[in-house]
Chain A
Amino acid sequence: MTALVLCSLVFGVGLYVVLTRREIIAILAGVELMLGSANILLVALASFAGADGGVIGSVALAVLVVAAAEAAVGLALVVSLARRSKRSRVEELLEVKG
């Protein structure tokens, strides 16, 4: 139960950060928090269901690795954007529209 509360809290904080902050790096950090909360939920539910710890551990680890890779790509994008056009806030990025 504690794990579920923790998971919801972390997800809520992540969502709040994504929706309220204007800096791209902060938004990226919020997304990472949401991803982390999903990982917590995965492990928590697996242990409720009585799954093999080793298997779940390796799946969670794989998620962490993917999250790290994703964070690296995301940060690289932000850095190169900032270098090119000196922009690091979302309201400055208006090209992505229909």
Chain B
Amino acid sequence: MTLFASNPWLAVAVPVFVALVVAVAGKRLVGMTQWFAVLAPVTAGMVGIAGWNSTAGPQSTSWLSQAGTSIETGIAVDGLSAIMLIVVGVVATMVVVFSVGYMAHDESRARYFALLAIFTAAMCLLVMSTSLVTLFIGWELVGACSYLLIGFWYRKASAASAAMKAFLTTRVGDVGMLLGLALLWKATGSLDIAVITGAAPGLAAGTATLAALLLFMGAAGKSAQFPLHIWLPDAMEGPTPVSALIHAATMVAAGVFLIARMWPVFDASEAARTVVLWIGTFTAIFAATVACVQTDIKKVLAYSTISQLGFMFAALGAGAWGAAMFHLVTHAAFKSLLFLGSGSVIHGAKTQDIREMGGLARFMPVTAATWIVGAVALAGIPPLSGFFSKDAVLASVLHASPLAASVLFAASLLTAFYAFRVTSLVFFGKGRGTTVAHESPLSMTAPLVVLAVLAATLGFMGDPIMTALGLEPEILSFAVAGVSVMVAVLGLCSACALYVNGLGQASRLSERFSALHRLLLGGWGVDALVQRVFIAPVIRFAGALYVWLDRLIIDRAVEGVGTGSQFIGRFMANLQSGETDVYASLAAVGFIVLMGIVLWIGR
């Protein structure tokens, strides 16, 4: 333990080493290497546990030092990064174990496990950095891993384009974040997080607001907040365990982490916090409505993730970054459980469409039981974890803005509704599928059980988490808790009532409100809007550039150089007649001309 406490860099170095070994060993050692890959997240988790109460100072080093300035980089484990490390470590361990079963038939397992290890290293670098520079490097590396893993089955065109969409959309946010870093560098003269957070209260109001909003832009891109959320539903093209790890539990939560890390900057700007609060609130309700009608089990979970991240951002905007981190931890547990559960369902039922499932509880008892634990936690029913953290979020938002809180209550109602819509359609009722489902192997069910235990019990970890973050423990607010439980039960019961007899009632309902249904199914048309407002003009602009600049100017110039050389060459070849006396005369004439020039200039 002291080894991990005094050497936090192991959390980055070991996964990198593991990734190299797995990548080099490749197909030869595949039976062993996939278990070897577990070493990477386990190390990360150990560093987190060792650093929970550690007092070890940061390990830092100067980078790119010249002319008196240098970039101070370093890593340190404090309460906030210890929490993130443990979340990453535990979820990634479960995902790697689960993947051994899930990816058993895949050709490129070595690439898969190496990428998971690289992702772990990048995520550890991101959460442990004491400098915004290395934080940003980790931030981009997790983005790159996300790109590579969404496009893991790159021969499938939809996966390749989803990967590109994810990369480009988060890039929009990252440009803002980079500008924010530049602004903070200009305002404080340093990119060290401690220096910036120390100087934040003294920043001019305009600077603080602009810096906070630019940082929030990066966070919104990474954490899929409206309107930069469009990449996350498409990101489900990747393998399901990847969705559980990267697109539910860890990477998409990095935006929440960033704002918690840079909290003093946000604390200095009331305006920026209001923007964060309302973007988060709107995202929460918006994504929840879309999740209610999706038919792809992973799309439901993707929109649910966007919605839950909206809850976290609402808490951040309300000033309760501790509550946001608490919800991040519990959400990581139950959402990765739900994703892995959906992976098990997909593995067993060979389809992702919930209309083709049904009655799976009989064939997949472990998956069904753990799924229900996750769904109840997501819906926020006590005493499971989601209830406590959602209560903390709602109480803090109610304190800041009752209007936003009432919107979030509506979002919780929808959350319970869609969670149990999927549960009853997938696990209960009559089977509508064509294939006979089977329970998944032990390496897939064991992580489900572990995560289910965590999802059920993490709610009681609220006080230790707040203490580790250096905050006052939240006191459960009974008024809020009562309303939220009522809302959750209402959503749960209405979903069960609507879907108890299969899809009949629901499809009649969707036919009656077909316009609304189509709007929700298309995610409120944000994708179509982005397509029309941004992508189509860019493609038209690029097409015009191709015709005018590429074909007309650049191609002409290059071809002109070629044909010009050929022409000159043919002309010059005629001079080379082979008559030596002509050569000699030309040399003499050239000499005389040169002498004339020299004399003329030297006059």
Residue numbers of A with Cβ under 8 A of B are 15, 18-19, 22, 27, 90-91, 93-98
Contact = CB atoms under 8 A, between A and B. Distances in A.
Contact of A90 (B575, B576, B579): B579
Given A98-B572, A98-B573, A98-B575, A93 B588 contact: no
Contact of A95 (B575, B578, B584, B588): B578
B577 to A, nearest CB: 6
Nearest to B569: A98
B581 interface: yes
19 contacts: A18-B584, A19-B584, A19-B585, A19-B588, A22-B581, A27-B584, A90-B580, A90-B581, A91-B579, A91-B581, A93-B578, A94-B577, A94-B578, A94-B579, A96-B576, A96-B578, A96-B580, A97-B578, A98-B573
Contacts of B577: 94, 97
Given A15-B588, A19-B588, A97 B576 contact: yes
Interface string B562-603: 000000000011011111110011001000000000000000
A95 B577 CA distance: 9
Contacts, number: 30
Nearest to B585: A19
Nearest to A91: B579
A19 B581 contact: yes
Nearest to A16: B588
A22 B580 CA distance: 10
Nearest to B592: A15
A22 B582 CA distance: 12
Nearest to A18: B584
Contacts of B580: 90, 93, 96
Interface of B: 572-573, 575-581, 584-585, 588
Contacts of B573: 98
Contacts of A91: 579, 581
Nearest to B583: A96
Contacts of B585: 19
A22 B579 CA distance: 11
A22 B588 CA distance: 16
- For the complex of A and B, list the 3 residue pairs with the smallest distance between their C-beta atoms, beginning with the closest: A98-B576, A97-B578, A94-B578
A89 B285 CA distance: 99
A15 B577 CA distance: 21
B568 to A, nearest CB: 12
A19 B591 CA distance: 13
A27 B588 CA distance: 14
A97 B584 CA distance: 14
A15 B580 CA distance: 14
B111 to A, nearest CB: 55
Contacts of B575: 98
Nearest to A31: B584
Given A22-B581, A90-B579, 20 more contacts: A15-B588, A18-B584, A18-B588, A19-B585, A19-B588, A27-B584, A90-B580, A90-B581, A91-B579, A93-B580, A94-B577, A94-B579, A95-B578, A96-B578, A96-B580, A97-B576, A97-B577, A97-B578, A98-B572, A98-B576
Contacts of B584: 18-19, 27
A32 to B, nearest CB: 14
A22 B577 CA distance: 16
Contacts of B581: 19, 22, 90-91
Contacts of A96: 576, 578, 580
Contacts of B572: 98
A56 B576 CA distance: 40
Contacts of A98: 572-573, 575-576
A98 B568 CA distance: 13
A91 B578 CA distance: 9
B456 to A, nearest CB: 88
A95 B580 CA distance: 10
B582 to A, nearest CB: 10
A27 B575 CA distance: 21
A20 to B, nearest CB: 9
Contacts of A97: 576-578
A96 B576 CA distance: 8
A15 B595 CA distance: 15
B595 to A, nearest CB: 11
Which one of B575, B576, B577, B578 has the greatest number of beta carbons of chain A within 10 Å? B578
A96 B582 CA distance: 12
A97 B573 CA distance: 8
A73 B584 CA distance: 19
Nearest to B591: A15
A53 B584 CA distance: 35
Contacts of B588: 15, 18-19
A1 to B, nearest CB: 18
Nearest to A24: B580
Nearest to A93: B580
